[in-house]
Structure 1
């Protein structure tokens, strides 16, 4: 939009009509004070400013406008009938003007100048957008590279830990066998098995990430008994964590259509996280119900909880809460994988958390997609 500033009404009207006939959007001001108020409220590509005005002349108006951050990209053309000497033209340029035109104005030349300023403005705007996009892209490459390096470091550490443990238990097994100490051998075998299962879980997560990235994460959907699935999960969790109690509230009493193994993967992730991030507690609550044509499942713990900014990022790939990353093992991909699984079932995943009091992770899936008569 163009702002015309002139204290002579007939000059404003005639120039406004000409510019509007050539497709330009035009605003007007009949004084320097009015022009400054409009510049603060609106954005202009070009200001055509009369030099001779009472109270504030065009030079003074231009100097004030040049101090407005909002108008730093706005071009100014001075128009003058009386001040045609070089010293006035020089003052116009030093006041922030990009051109100085003397009256009487050749309207064709003025139109060419205006079109040129508009073209320059559009080019600068596009260049600015490209520059912003490039900077954002560079920052995203930097962040992605940093995340990749961090993940490689974390993955190396997490994979080495169970491998080192297994190697140690194998050495102890050899000693136990040489001594004929069968009970000790059984104990070491059991501990080695636990570490191998941990290693297998880490590798499975890495494979899932690879499949998600390549779009090859496959689903085998069929009908299954959801309550039976939950009871089986709770039983297995209790066997490996006998001192931790999972309290189940509610039932579904319906066959669900979905990938049983993948949904189990999500629920197990919720429960193991509830145990992992609740040191000193011995209970979590699982809630399941059908509501508003949706299946709802939530797991609430009474552990360390999260800050609001952490809640926003907890489902991001490779995200690990800074202050807990050195206390709790993990790759930071379990919740990301879980979110992808739930999305592929047409559902939503989320968390409610209070720092220092605990968290409740939950998902909802539209029931019309999941349950029907077998």
Structure 2
């Protein structure tokens, strides 16, 4: 915008017309005072100022503009029809004007001068903006440099206090700083400490990480300058990133020599201990085999004299003691004890046999259950018991061992029945999601939950863990025959099949034995 200042309206109109014909925007003022007011409110690129005006003349207006930082750089072109003398022209330039033109004005010359001054003003303004921007950039860079220097001092201070070897690497890979421990392994910072020849290949990968700008770490041995000993260190170098670019790298060597030696010593001990354990396992397997043979021989040798004792006592009873009631009672007690002893030896033999390794194969539990019911049919009929069965799964197992489990559970359900109440046994199976007693049903589950439920005497669940321990019994053995081994055998068999067994019960309301086996 160009401001024309003249006290004669006709001059303003003429000048304005000339400038507007050339597409130049124009504003006007008819006095120096009005010109100053307008200049304070808006920015002008050029002022065409008449020299002689009533009140404040053109020289005084320009002097006022020169006193303000905001307006001092606005170019002023003086026009005068009266003051054409050299002293007035000189005063015009001294007051801050860029040119002094006398009237009458050559319009072409005026337009050339106006356009020139406008262009110079715009260029000057651009230069000023560039200068301000550069000045601001210098300040920002100066602040950043000061901050970086401060951070560098802090980093150096921290590295000095570290017990590890610490160092700073520039962006190009040269070492800028190293703390005191560094000089125990390197004479200067022109290069890294001497690396053990066997570790060079791992250490050389650092150059790749330097070029890629990624963190680097490795285990390396470096030589101590004083002792000439190679010691184990963990070397770690990480990039320091500022404004998304790497400014430097910070690295450390952490001494792990004692730890490494301890680990190597531990590995040797572990190897020795493993060898000892393997030898012990072999010896244990041999002892187990001997123990199984011993159990077999002992049980056989123990059962033979017991059978003879039973036979001879029965002969004595039948031939010599029929008329002596007291003697018959003693004989019956002796026979009962001998039978329990024989059963105990048989159960112990079965329990010891579970340690033997037997290869499992697909077993249909329906067939196993039918065999058990066939063996117990006399007892089932004598007790007027009812047995309801659901379809059981096929699992990978040892049929003879699984038969022992089912026979034990069904046998217990018949044995521990309530007086005057016919036993009722329910055997169910369902597919479940996980190896948990209360796992929800799942048609595609990997486990089967088999439940053997009865309506017998039950037991207090506080003793749940006790019933699966060998020789433990919750009931009076004079009322309920047994050795206390059956459920212990069942538990061991189920665990060998990677399953679990538990129970739920209430005194006087029967029991439910829960078996979970993998399908």
Q: TM-score range by the shorter chain?
A: 0.3 to 0.5
TM-score by length of structure 2 reads: 0.33
TM-score with structure 1 setting the length: 0.42
Which structure has the higher relative contact order (CA within 8 Å, separation 6+)?
1
Bigger helix fraction: 1
Larger radius of gyration: 2
